[in-house]
Amino acid sequence: MMAVRKVSLRPVEAKELVNIASACDFDIDISYNRYTVDAKSILGVLALDFSQVLTISYNGTDERLEAFLASHAIAC
């Protein structure tokens, strides 16, 4: 089942997200508007507009990822 989380990030938090995502054995995508990037790509993540609400989509379970997303989640 595909999980979708809405988060707000700052550029300084991008490296931590990429490190966590890279350790996962499933795909993780980050999107806003019509842009979608692979969360395991530091260049892709740094190219995002961090003033936007970002949507994280993934199909798997990882405790570190869940904790990171929970700490950056926004109310929808």
Q: Is 37 helix (H, G, I), strand (E, B) or coil?
A: strand
Per-residue pLDDT band at 76 (split at 50, 70, 90): low
- Tell whether the model's pLDDT for residue 1 goes beyond 80: no
pTM of the model: 0.90
In CATH, 3-72 is 3.40.50.12160:
no
pLDDT in tens, 42-62: 999 999 999 999 999 999 999
In the chain, count H helices and then E strands.
3, 4
In which residue are the tokens 């490190």 written? 19
pLDDT in tens, 2-54: 999 999 999 999 999 999 999 999 999 999 999 999 999 999 999 999 999 99
